[in-house]
Amino acid sequence: MTVLLLQKAFDMKILICGGDGQLGSDCVQVLQETHEVFALTLNELDITSSSDVDKVIGKYVPDIILNCAAYTAVDACETEREPAWKVNVEGPKNLASWVTKYSGLLIHISSDYVFDGRKKPPEPYVEDDEPNPLSYYGRTKLEGEVAVMQTTDQYIILRPAWLYGIHGRNFLKTILKIALGNPDKKLKVVNDQFGSPTWSYRLALQIAELIEKNGRGTYHATAEGHCTWYELADHFLGKMGVPHSLIPCTSEEYPTPAIRPGNSILENKRLKKADINVMKDWSHDVDQFVSDFQEQLLNEAMKTRP
Ligand SMILES: NC(=O)c1ccc[n+]([C@@H]2O[C@H](COP(=O)([O-])OP(=O)(O)OC[C@H]3O[C@@H](n4cnc5c(N)ncnc54)[C@H](OP(=O)(O)O)[C@@H]3O)[C@@H](O)[C@H]2O)c1
């Protein structure tokens, strides 16, 4: 009986915005093991509309709103500024306002791109380092954080980096598709940007831990260790057993509309201090990801390869 009561104490009603995205899907899977979860897609709730937010969330009255919704096309943000601002700044502000009006907790996902990456790798960024985004995407993610913090004190803001998972699009799936489509093609991959590739499933476990341990405030939440995009691609394709001809290159040789930080290494300082850091080394998680999904990844890539 006691055990049952203790288990019940952790049960929350959680509403996930962007519930069919890469991170949202893994959060649904992980959190529904212990909580009552409602996952809403963009069709069901557009977080940029404050009246929809009030109306739709009012039907559920959740204890926790988990915001996995975002405008995540980093390069497109440079030109699509208005929609990017609406989703990444006004959206979280609307959700924070709901929490202020009707109580609860907002868990909001931010990004490593709030930093300028000018620290010399491998020196990591910690939570109280000054943000200074280089891209418009990074700027909207920073302003989203500010909007949340100015609207409610009942928040958790998480900064992950270089997310990948089985749902949705990501760098690993793109590299796999290209390598399978043309194994002899010499593919240039950036080798002067450093970060910690973070598995969305592991991040979902970290979110569950923060909920259970009643976390509050801003946390860095990335995989342990670090690598470059080139090292990540090489490691992943090697594990997948896919032949490839990658060539390391500089950011200058691979220009993109949005400037990326050279150093995106974050330290999970606050998670470690509170002894609730469940994140693992990036290569451990890439290996686990491959071992769990190798066949599914290959099938998907074969269907869509160029
Ligand atoms: N991906 C990365 O490398 C990375 C790195 C650091 C931080 N992050 C952050 O991590 C979070 C999750 O990223 P992710 O990779 O899971 O992104 P994702 O796969 O692109 O998912 C984003 C979700 O948001 C939905 N959405 C877009 N506009 C919306 C709106 N106005 N209202 C409601 N839902 C909306 C999308 O729906 P549709 O698909 O229908 O448009 C999608 O389901 C984001 O906050 C992102 O900024 C990502």
Radius of gyration of the chain (CA): 19
Backbone angles phi, psi at 274, to 5 degrees: -85, 0
Q: Which residue has the tokens 């009006």?
A: 101
Per-residue pLDDT of the chain (306 residues; tens, 9 = 90+): 444 444 444 589 999 999 999 999 999 999 999 999 999 999 999 999 999 999 999 999 999 999 999 999 999 999 999 999 999 999 999 999 999 999 999 999 999 999 999 999 999 999 999 999 999 999 999 999 999 999 999 999 999 999 999 998 999 999 999 999 987 889 999 999 999 999 999 999 999 999 999 999 999 999 999 999 999 999 999 999 999 899 999 999 999 999 999 999 999 999 999 999 999 999 999 999 999 999 999 999 998 866
In a domain, 296, yes or no: yes
Structural domain of 288: 11-304
Per the annotation, the verdict on 201 as an active-site residue is no
Distance 18 CA to ligand 1 centre (A): 6
Task: Examine residue 1 and state whether it is found in any structural domain, yes or no.
Answer: no
- Could you tell me if residue 179 is inside a domain? yes
Q: Does 215 sit in the ligand 1 pocket, CB within 6 Å?
A: no
Residue type at position 228: T
CATH number assigned to the domain comprising residue 76: 3.40.50.720
Spatial contact of 189 and 175, defined as CB atoms under 8 Å apart: yes
Return the residue whose CA atom lies nearest to atom 43 of ligand 1. 21
The reply to whether 178 falls in a domain is yes
Residue 2 domain-assigned (yes or no): no
Annotated catalytic residue, options 125, 137, 164, 201: 137
**First vs last C-alpha separation in the chain:** 58
Q: Which single residue is written with the structure tokens 């020196």?
A: 123
Nearest residue (by CA) to ligand 1, atom 44, is 70
Total domain count for the chain? 1
